[in-house]
Amino acid sequence: MFLHSVGSVGFFLYNCVMLNSFLTSRLASGCSPRTVTWYEQMISRFLSWMDQAGVSWPPGPEDVESFLSDERRSGLSPSTVAGRYRALSAWFSWLVARGHLPGSPMDHVARPRVPRRIPRRVEVGQLAKLLETIPQDGTWVDARDRLILLLLFWTGLRLAELAALEVRDLDSSRRLVRVRAGKGGRDRFVPYPVEIGPALLSYLMARPPWSGPELFLSSDGGRAGGRVRGVLTDNGIRQMIRRRCQRAGVPYVNPHAFRHGLAMALLNSGEADLSLVARILGHSSTSITQRFYAQWTDDGMRSKYDRAARAIAEADD
């Protein structure tokens, strides 16, 4: 049974129920709580727009297009507007599959175009500049910051994955980091270079006693690094990177830029293929890695081409 042209109160109640049911379904299907929250924010924004614009339920393709156009005119980036489109597509598909709508308006709405730009990334030289701001014989906070910067770049972990690390997640004998239930709900193991071993040991030996399993702790800012205030949060890591960038005299780079830096460095080295990079980054398929990075890796293509050309020439001699 389909609900048409409900009043404002009925519209609100009906969509609250439908949205909550959809979010429950996403959780049951394995979406992370962070992803479910994202769905809730995107869809709630559309419902608020419908209410303000006086659009009755169910919306048509023209209504969705008007919403997306308004969002773009408000100054949102093309990628953010495309995110609205993806969330609405998933929700309306669910409504159709559950028999709440006869069809999805998204079937007649074109996917917003998103310009492909070179991802902003941290390069090895920039990482070195940031590390130069950290004294080798500094406080436990200095040791923590050094380890965070190294892990962000050399493992390509997402910010939330890094902040959630526990001491037991780093296997120093095998040089592996276990990422517990990362994006997509899957554990994965990521290798790290030998340089991280001493940084990990220095931090664990320097940090104050802590009864919990968490790896990274926050400080109250006192002398010698201060006392432990609690677990370091995502925002705390962002603030730390901002401070280190200021001290190094370089523009601020967001945590995800370290991840981009590792991916592009690996691909440009000519020694890592898409499948390896996809596995390290936790991508569900190489097509995601291809879409994000492959078109910006000319150095790696040139390196592989040169090796192949030399092999051909040597075989001909």
pLDDT tens digits for range 37-87: 999 999 999 999 998 998 988 899 999 999 999 999 999 988 899 999 999
Q: Considering 39, 85, 203, 293, which one is annotated as catalytic?
A: 293
Active-site residue, 168 included:
no
Active-site residue, 4 included:
no
Q: Quick one: tokens of 77?
A: 């980036």
Q: Is the pLDDT of residue 197 over 50?
A: yes
Q: Considering 144, 183, 188, 207, which one is annotated as catalytic?
A: 183
Q: How far is CA 245 from CA 126, 159, 182, 233, in A?
A: 9, 17, 27, 19
Residue 201 and residue 138 share a domain: yes
Active-site residue, 283 included:
yes
| Tally of domains in the chain | 2
Q: How far is CA 187 from CA 28, 142, 178, 256, 284, in A?
A: 18, 29, 7, 20, 12
Residue 131 and residue 53 share a domain: no
We report the CATH number of the domain holding residue 68 as 1.10.150.130
Active-site residue, 256 included:
yes
Range of the domain at 88: 8-108
Q: Considering 100, 144, 207, 283, which one is annotated as catalytic?
A: 283
Residue 209 and residue 61 share a domain: no
Residue 185 and residue 80 share a domain: no
Q: Considering 72, 256, 279, 304, which one is annotated as catalytic?
A: 256
Q: Considering 26, 84, 121, 158, which one is annotated as catalytic?
A: 158
Residue 137 and residue 89 share a domain: no
pLDDT tens digits for range 224-261: 677 888 999 999 999 999 999 999 999 999 999 998 88
Q: Considering 100, 121, 188, 259, which one is annotated as catalytic?
A: 259
Give the pTM. 0.66
Residue 131 and residue 59 share a domain: no
Contact 131, 148 (CB under 8 A): no
